[in-house]
Amino acid sequence: MEGLGVLAVAGFIGFAIWATMRGNQRRRSALEAIASKLSGAADSKHASATGTLAGIPITLRFTTRGSGSNAESWTEIDAQPPAGYPLSLSLHAHGWFDKGKIERGDLVDVIIGDADFDGRFLIEAAPADVVRHLFPPELRGYLMSRKELGLGTTKVGDAGTLVLRLSVRGWLEKPEDFSPALDQMAALAARVREAHATADQAVTPTAPGGAPYRPTVDAAPARDARAARAAEVAKLEDTKAARAATSKLIGWIFVIVFMVVVLAFLASK
């Protein structure tokens, strides 16, 4: 019986090693295929692939969140939009308390105009008039098709380069999984410039003047709108930073109160 137990343990260890090796090979093959699509390079050591798609710099990473039994596999895709266009974006599924926070004005929720999409996702973003042009039907359809995901802006590298980051639960190792995600992120990043231009057009009137029958464009409203958008993004970023600081402070208060209660309990013994 003891020999059977040893064999069982050895068999389990052997299977775990085989499964790990097989998973690593599958992941390497996926990264090579992704790098080929991006006309770039794969980095097996960091489980990533980098390149460009439709002129947009893109990096895909396979990541693990948590550890042990709580470990979760996630795929992150960073797409770099054209520089010079202010944007702050955070999209995730609505939480239990979002409605009350929105009604109190503590939380921004940009409405796209698609009832199902707006009902599922909170879009805390600025500038709102630009963000409304970033979610065409094909992107909304892709986001709705995934069970767990997040989409937002973040800054990477020493230079603090702004990127759009899509986080999807699970490793997108198959072409039918990673190709749509890469295509949508490249299109979204490229759309940032177009969305700003569309928002400018909405506030750019024409005025009499110039050559006969050729009205001139009054650039002042668009210029003022751009300044207002930059201020809107800065305000949202400040609000999010303040909220994060408050949340951290509350966490520390809970820890301190818990420690005081424990020490008081021990002192009473």
In a domain, 267, yes or no: no
Single-letter residue type at 163: V
Distance CA 122, CA 94 (A): 5
Strands (E), 68-202: 72-79, 88-93, 121-126, 149-156, 161-169
In a domain, 265, yes or no: no
In a domain, 106, yes or no: yes
In a domain, 65, yes or no: yes
Radius of gyration (C-alpha) of the chain in whole angstroms: 25
Average pLDDT for runs of 10 along the chain of length 269: 59 52 76 96 94 97 90 96 95 89 85 96 96 97 95 93 96 95 98 94 66 61 86 88 83 90 81
What's the pLDDT at 240?
Answer: 83
In a domain, 17, yes or no: yes
Distance CA 218, CA 206 (A): 6
What's the pLDDT at 18?
Answer: 42
In a domain, 86, yes or no: yes
Return the closest-CA partner of residue 168 out of 184, 144, 151: 151
pTM of the model: 0.81
In a domain, 134, yes or no: yes
Tell me which residue range forms the domain holding 133: 2-259
In a domain, 268, yes or no: no
Number of structural domains the chain divides into: 1
Q: What is the pLDDT of residues 213-259, one digit of tens each?
A: 566 556 787 788 889 998 999 998 888 888 778 878 888 999 999 88
- Check: CB of residue 154 under 8 Å from CB of residue 166: no
Distance CA 75, CA 95 (A): 22
Q: Measured between alpha carbons, how far apart are the two ends of the chain, in Å?
A: 50
